[in-house]
Amino acid sequence: MKRSAIKMSNTDEKYLWVKSGGMCAKCKRALILEDIEKNISIGERAHIIGKGTGKKAPRRELGEENGFDTTNIDSLDNLMMLCSGCHHVIDTNAENYPPEKLFDMKKEHEGWVKNRLTQNNKAIAILHKRKNRMPFDSILLVDEIDTLLLDAVSLQKEFTDFSEEGWEEARKQNEEFFERIVQAKKEYSGTKLFVFALSPIPLLIHLGQLISDTVPVVVYQYDRQIQKWCLEDSGEVAEEQIINVEISKDKQDSLVVTVQVSGIIAEKEVSEAIKTPYQHLDIRIEKPGIDAVIYSHDIKIIKEAFRKYVYDLQDHHHFKEIHLFYYGPAGLAVELGRTINDSMLPEVHIYEHNRRGERKYTRAITI
């Protein structure tokens, strides 16, 4: 059924979306769905007192007693945001959804949104998934975090070209993606960035470097055992990870940094990739394993160790280049990238574990 056009300014339309929190007033479902490389809106501006005549205008006969006529039928007071499904249910079952019930629903929902805006985090979800073709669903992510999602910025096209040209193209796509993040941040001031990422490690370190440590960011880790995105352990907080740091005494122009969290990086594999003399900084947890580091208290320890030792060594030795080999979870890769300041460090070459060729590690991206 074709609906009558709604006459309202762009400002009023945005205000209606903001007051609704981007959620359906009836079912609380997010009104923007995330599909591959595209946002899809299921949100509809719904009249409480219908516009038009006859059955096409539910509750229209009650307009006068509720103070609405043709002059103010499109006013914000008579509009609410609904998903397409709830809109259909309410308008085809008008006798069970009288005006007073809908005005109360609108008031309660907008009050609930306002309360969440003042008490909880406001978030822009950053969805970066370039492994496999199945995309993240932003609605399911929102259900797992205690926040109000105002926008979602997504890069979820599978990355398959591991050639030098492919990495360079992916680097450009990261930079374009970051510009979209910047625009979303400008549009929704006062929001944190909530990052959900499962992509090749060099791309995530590069993304973290673009975002930097200068803006509020919450990076979620995926816990495969419970299949949820997490910040903190749901049970008792585990003992802090024991970090082992070793620094070779060789004085060279290049610094190699290995970060070993989810598994072991053999030094032979590093030397095969570099082929020139280097000083070596090794940061590892005592017992590397696939799920050894997930939660924020562990992430912070490793991130701060990386920042401290890399910058201390650079201050003392003034390396011409740094080579980074990383074996760890995706979220920590983003966090390490956020510590890389290109005005304070030389070129940082990031290596990808290569299962497709003879060499185990190949250079992917240079920051």
State pLDDT tens for residues 137-179. 665 666 666 666 777 899 999 999 999 999 999 999 999 999 9
In this predicted structure, what is the pLDDT of residue 339? 97
Q: Are residues 275 and 344 in the same domain?
A: yes
**Residue 268: pLDDT band by 50, 70, 90 thresholds?**
very high
Q: How much is the mean pLDDT over the chain? A: 86
Q: Look at residues 118, 147, 175 and tell me which one is the last residue of a structural domain.
A: 118
**Residue 29: pLDDT band by 50, 70, 90 thresholds?**
confident
* CATH number of the domain that residue 183 is part of: 3.40.50
Assigned domain for 5 exists: no
Q: Are residues 106 and 31 in the same domain?
A: yes
Contacts of residue 77, defined as CB under 8 A and 6 or more positions apart, other chains included, come to none
**Residue 97: pLDDT band by 50, 70, 90 thresholds?**
very high
Q: Are residues 145 and 256 in the same domain?
A: no
In this predicted structure, what is the pLDDT of residue 2? 44
Assigned domain for 235 exists: no
Q: Are residues 16 and 26 in the same domain?
A: yes
Q: Are residues 260 and 342 in the same domain?
A: yes
* Rounded Cα distance, 299 and 231, in Å: 10
In this predicted structure, what is the pLDDT of residue 237? 45
At 138, is the secondary structure helix, strand, or coil? helix
Assigned domain for 34 exists: yes
Q: Are residues 331 and 346 in the same domain?
A: yes
Angle between helices 296-317 and 330-338 (to 10 degrees): 40
Q: Are residues 77 and 153 in the same domain?
A: no
Number of domains in the chain: 3
pTM to 2 decimal places:
0.69
Assigned domain for 2 exists: no
pLDDT above 50: residue 84? yes
Average pLDDT over residues 287-304: 84
pLDDT above 50: residue 234? no
**Residue 21: pLDDT band by 50, 70, 90 thresholds?**
confident
**Residue 334: pLDDT band by 50, 70, 90 thresholds?**
very high
- The Cβ-side half-sphere exposure at 291, using a 13 Å CA radius, reads 10
Q: Are residues 142 and 216 in the same domain?
A: yes
Q: Are residues 39 and 102 in the same domain?
A: yes
* Rounded Cα distance, 199 and 132, in Å: 9
Assigned domain for 237 exists: no
Assigned domain for 66 exists: yes
* Rounded Cα distance, 35 and 154, in Å: 9
In this predicted structure, what is the pLDDT of residue 232? 60
Q: Look at residues 230, 253, 283 and tell me which one is the last residue of a structural domain.
A: 230
pLDDT above 90: residue 295? no
Average pLDDT over residues 74-99: 93
* Rounded Cα distance, 99 and 62, in Å: 8
> Which helix (H) or strand (E) segment is 151 a member of?
strand 147-155
* Rounded Cα distance, 292 and 284, in Å: 11
pLDDT single digits (tens) 37-74: 566 788 899 999 998 776 678 999 999 999 999 899 99
Assigned domain for 96 exists: yes
pLDDT single digits (tens) 102-125: 999 999 999 888 776 655 567 888
Q: Are residues 219 and 265 in the same domain?
A: no
Q: In percent, how much of the chain has pLDDT > 90?
A: 57
At 42, is the secondary structure helix, strand, or coil? coil
Q: DSSP code of 30?
A: B
Q: Are residues 148 and 101 in the same domain?
A: no
DSSP string, 222-282: EETTTTEEESS-SSSPPPPPPEEEEE-----SEEEEEEESSS---HHHHHHHH-S--EEEE
Domain limits at 77?
10-118
Average pLDDT over residues 259-279: 93
pLDDT above 50: residue 1? no
Q: Look at residues 64, 96, 118 and tell me which one is the last residue of a structural domain.
A: 118
Q: Are residues 152 and 267 in the same domain?
A: no
Average pLDDT over residues 190-210: 93
Assigned domain for 64 exists: yes
